[in-house]
Amino acid sequence: MKNLFYLLLCLIAGASCSQADPTKPWDKGAFETQKYRNLFAEMGYKQADIDAKLKSVFDGVFYGPDKVYFEVGDSMAYISDVKNHDVRTEGMSYGLMIAVQFDRQDIFDRLWRWGTKYMQHQDGPLKGYFAWSCATDGTRNSQGPASDGELYYVTALIFASNRWGNDTGINYLAEAQNILNCSMEKDGTNRVMPFINVEHKLITFVPDIHGGRFTDPSYHVPAFYEVWARWANDGRADFWRECAERSREYLHKSIHPVTGLNPDYNNYDGSLLGNNRIIGDAFRFDSWRVPMNIALDYSWACADKEWQQEYGNKIQNFLYSQGIDTFVDQYNVDGTQVKDTLRAGEHKALRHSLGLVATSAAASLMCTHEKSREFVDKLWNAKHEPYEDGYFDAYYDGLLRLFAFMHLSGNYRIIFPEK
């Protein structure tokens, strides 16, 4: 009966029988097939329930009592890290990506207008870049950019161009090209650099003289460069394809060979910073995104499938060994307990954080072992509510949870140009 059930799913999805087995990830990417795996459906969840759950998670982020999306006047909006009372390029660019994935041009355009008005530098040494943090009234908390914001901005804008065209009030493709062109013109003047290190062809942590010396594993989404190579039309297609290859090679070096864990920050050769930066050399908050990012590259490009399958199994095996209901959100990369001197206050506590529950479940898209189903079930049943100590994160946990549901329902997609 089980095999018959999977066969029926295959026929419905138009996929091969191997593609319907939850323990056998697909062996071709969506750039080639334009098909996306709905792992929830493969595991027996009803499509109506999947659709309802995805809508509920989306509505919670954008419209619920714990929303992080706030509209301003008739034409703008921002996404706020509400617990820190600010607006970050991380959240704003995530919001753009979510909006274009859900075909919500209204949300996309509102976020873009707020970001260009308050966050983007229109002139000077930082021209084209976005201030990484602003107060909710638009006052900049910091002038400098964080490279992951630009990474998502560019990709979301290209998708917007592909989906909606460039004649509805915003020339999305021109805006993406402007970010890329402005960045690649930086030469160190006033300490400002490209957000892609041109020597290593890897994304910087921060595009300046200091932050450009190392990187953040969670900023690496090789499939995004594949998007740029196809549709940025900026004359750098070969460069972006090489960036995708270099990024995959870097991830091999960055991830611990036994645990599958990675540090928050490290050198371009994958080695630890080793400068007593306690947070930088451990698997902590930024790091949670890596399983989901690698799963995205697997789903879209499938260009590194053997290693990525091994990686997915490896990190799930480690977390499973810590207790699938109890693994915590911070470890040294070798899997040992983190030092307790990270910082005072709310982040010091170790929690079974929803954000990591979500991203480790998304890794199931590339896993080959049976326990991958358990991770998916745990995400499905996880509630977004305060932890036992009262801490609640509507922003980071909420956004990662939404991305994971998009992944696992087959709704995080490459947006090809409209024909």
Q: Which residues are catalytic?
A: 90, 286
385: exposed, middle or buried (C-beta count within 10 Å: 0-12, 13-18, 19+)?
exposed
Using the 8-state DSSP alphabet, how is residue 366 labeled?
G
Walking along the chain (419 residues) 10 residues at a time, the average pLDDT comes out as 42 40 84 98 97 98 98 98 97 98 98 98 98 98 98 99 98 98 97 98 97 97 98 98 98 98 97 76 96 98 98 98 97 88 60 98 97 98 96 97 98 94
Residue 90 pLDDT: 98
Residue 18 pLDDT: 36
Q: Domains plus CATH for the chain? A: 21-66+246-418 (1.50.10.10), 67-211 (1.50.10.10)
380: exposed, middle or buried (C-beta count within 10 Å: 0-12, 13-18, 19+)?
middle
| Alpha-carbon dihedral angle through residues 172, 177, 130, 394, given to the nearest 10 degrees | 50
Cβ neighbours of 131 (radius 10 Å): 24
Residue 11 pLDDT: 40
Specify the pTM.
0.94
171: exposed, middle or buried (C-beta count within 10 Å: 0-12, 13-18, 19+)?
middle
